[in-house]
Structure 1
Amino acid sequence: MGAGIHIVNDKLGAQAQKSAYGSYSYKLKLTNTLKLSFGLAMGISYYSLNGQELTKDDQNDPAIPTSTINKTRFDSKAGLFLYNERFYTGFSVADLSSNIRKSAELLVAGQVKHYYLTSGYVFDLNQNIKFKPSFLFKEDFRAPTNIDLNGFFLFNSKYWLGATFRTGANILKSKDLDNTLRSRDAIVVMADLNITQSFRIGYAYTITLTSLANYTGHEILIGYYFKEKTNSKMLTPRYF
């Protein structure tokens, strides 16, 4: 059993979001090696959209605000995670409480239910090299399904090196699907270092493969794993 707090302060262009969540998780031991975790988070999100920061092609467009619009709403998330030392699969839903139907509200809050499905497995290539393929599907039934196909190599139980191919496809049909949207293909190159059994750092570089090819992204990862109790055994290395 675990509990925590998640705080978000995000700004992207004219949009801003501030959120605070309380989270709870519970772990079930299904067999000697297989475990199932449940997670739930609930909180409040505050959204704002500053219309004065938007560039308008039509100055009289009524759908674009001329001032700052704010919206506060309750939010919740839930998920399941099944795993052992080599394999994992998970399913989660974000924005469970979303009931936005009006376009004006969607413009400000920008939130609809999102569904996530992921899975992966670790293979031994030899004594010093392991390979972990995995995937992540992200679906909201309003745009093409976002697909991440990942491949990572682990060297000497310490160094991770891998890449992700990100694309989109119209896998599931919905009356709300916008067929004018196109996938934004990208490649992400990542490196990760397990400094100790508990502490890791990493870096990721994103290269777009579409008309947005002039844009790149940089991410830095810093992670620390807490042992459940003093006599617990932590897997070395952490595969996921």
Structure 2
Amino acid sequence: MDTKLPFKLMLLWLISGMLLIPELMKAQQNLQFSQYVFNMLSVNPAYAGYKEDLYASAIYRKQWVDFPGAPQTANVSVDGALNASRDNRVGLGFQVMYDKLGPQDATSMYGMYAYRIPLNEDGDKRLCLGVGAGVTQYAIDGNALQYNDLNDPAIPLGRATTWVPDARFGVYYYTSRFYVGASMMDLFSLYTDDSRYYWKGYEYKTIRKTQHLYVNAGAVFGLSDQVKFKPSLLVKEDFRGPTNLDLTALFYIADRLWLGASYRTGVKLWSKPALASDLEQLDAACALVQFNITEQIRVGYSYDLTISKMASYQSGSHEISIGFLFQGKKQRVLSPRYF
């Protein structure tokens, strides 16, 4: 590697190199969105159908702006309750996600099914069980890699890809004022090893998912006729790397505007001998806003301010989102959907 490269670029290639060395780095926190609180389908398949009417959303995240090769992530999803099912008990969802880090990228597609058991006559209190199945295409672009010598045999030529099946499972309980959920993601990651490539005796390991446990909860409190307060938390655990905790506080104003902030940090819930004892826990603080343009259209934006030692090498992370609710012809009386 050219020693004259800027420090940020050298740091990026160090990270990428760790991903390419087998057994050196198996665990990696799963993809994350600061605005997951507005559509939790990406963290729990049991959420499918929560809004009942068909809901489509798209979100794009550009992380660590000005850092060469920094992560970029996009997600498009659609979900809704199946009207033909009794009491709208069946929720269906579909999601496509794209993630890019330096010379590597992953594209995932999932279909999701949720069985939503009503626990009261109004149907606004339910226990939901959800499953998801899909496939991920892992890829590495050898043309994007730098090399010491021309025709360096340690760098693959062109773009190599492979497909890996996957599944997820979740439980989601909600009322009109409270929710709690848990999900296991990337269930097949322990049993497949197809995301490695072999070329001229060299082994390459791309961005690799590992099993993740997500646990989240939240509630909404009325502060006045025009203002409601919604605190929530999300715990992300991959059983090898640091446990992550997202704490979010939002105010809902005049049934139109969401304003709030979140704080992301690592937490030590139990001992993990493989982790360094002095590992930094702080990650980011985030400002969030979502505006309901109409009853059907929502737009959102968030900005992550990095508060770790990475802060001086980049200028934060941006996220934009848009959602559209397709209201059915059949008029239904729904309790407000705060989650």
**TM-score, normalised with respect to structure 1:** 0.85
Q: Give the superposition deviation at 1:191.
A: 0.8
Per-residue deviation, residues 178-209 of structure 1 (Å, max 9, x unmatched)? 33753351011011112233321111011000
Quote the Cα distance in structure 1 between the aligned partners of 2:105 and 2:191: 18
* Residue 101 of structure 1: how far off its partner (Å): 8.4
- The structure whose residues are more often helix, as a share, is 2
CA distance in 1, matches of 2:315, 2:301: 17
Structure-1 residue corresponding to 2:338? 239
Paired with 1:149 and 1:19, the residues of 2 have a C-alpha distance of 27
For the 8 Å contact 2:217–2:232, the answer to whether it is kept is yes
- Superposed displacement of residue 48, structure 1: 1.4
1:15 aligns with 2:104: yes
Is the 1:145–1:172 contact (alpha carbons within 8 Å) kept by the matching residues of 2? no
AA aligned opposite 1:81: Y
Is the counterpart of residue 111 in structure 1 residue 173 in structure 2?
Answer: no
2:276 alignment partner, one of 164, 170, 179: 179
Q: What is the deviation of 1:23?
A: 1.7
Contact 2:105 2:207 in 1 (8 A): no
Decide which of 171, 179, 189 is 1:80's aligned counterpart.
171
Distance 1:55 1:138, change over 3 A: farther
Deviations 1:77-113 (A, max 9, x none): 11111001110111111101111687x8493241110
Matched residues in 2 for 1:107 and 1:141: separation? 20
Q: Matches of residues 162-173 of structure 1 in structure 2 within 5 Å?
A: 162-173=260-271
Asked whether the equivalents of residues 150 and 165 of structure 1 are also in contact (C-alpha less than 8 Å), the reply is: yes
Distance 1:24 1:66 in 2: 39
Q: Distance in 1 between matches of 2:276 and 2:141?
A: 28
Q: How many residues align?
A: 233
**Would the alpha carbon gap of residues 166 and 55 (structure 1) be closer, same or farther in structure 2, given more than 3 Å must change?**
farther
Matches within 5 A, 1:19-168: 19-32=108-121, 33-51=124-142, 53-54=144-145, 66-67=156-157, 69-99=160-190, 105=196, 107-168=205-266
Q: CA deviation at 1:127?
A: 1.6
SS across alignment from 1:212: helix
Whether the 8 Å contact between 1:71 and 1:108 is mirrored in structure 2 is no
Q: SS at 1:74's partner residue?
A: strand
2:141 & 2:107 partners in 1: Cα distance?
Answer: 15
Preserved CA contact (<8 Å) 2:280 2:308: no
| CA–CA separation in structure 2 for the residues paired with 1:101 and 1:4 | 25
CA distance in 2, matches of 1:22, 1:42: 6
**What secondary structure is seen at the aligned counterpart in 2 of 1:225?**
strand
- Is 105-114 or 213-222 further displaced after alignment? 105-114
Q: Is the 8 A contact 2:222 2:228 kept in 1?
A: yes
Cα distance in 1 for partners of 2:239, 2:298 equals: 35
**CA distance in 1: counterparts of 2:94 and 2:331, whole angstroms:** 26
Conserved 8 A contact 1:154-1:161 = yes
Q: Which AA in structure 1 matches 2:316?
A: T
The answer to which structure has the higher strand fraction is 1
Change (3 A) 1:120 1:4: closer
Query: What is the Cα-based RMSD across aligned positions, in Å?
Result: 2.8
Distance 1:208 1:118, change over 3 A: same
Take 2:109 and 2:309, find their aligned partners in 1: how far apart are those partners?
Answer: 36
Higher RCO (Cα < 8 Å, 6 or more apart): 2
Paired with 1:126 and 1:86, the residues of 2 have a C-alpha distance of 15
1:189 alignment partner AA: A
TM-score w.r.t. length of structure 2: 0.62
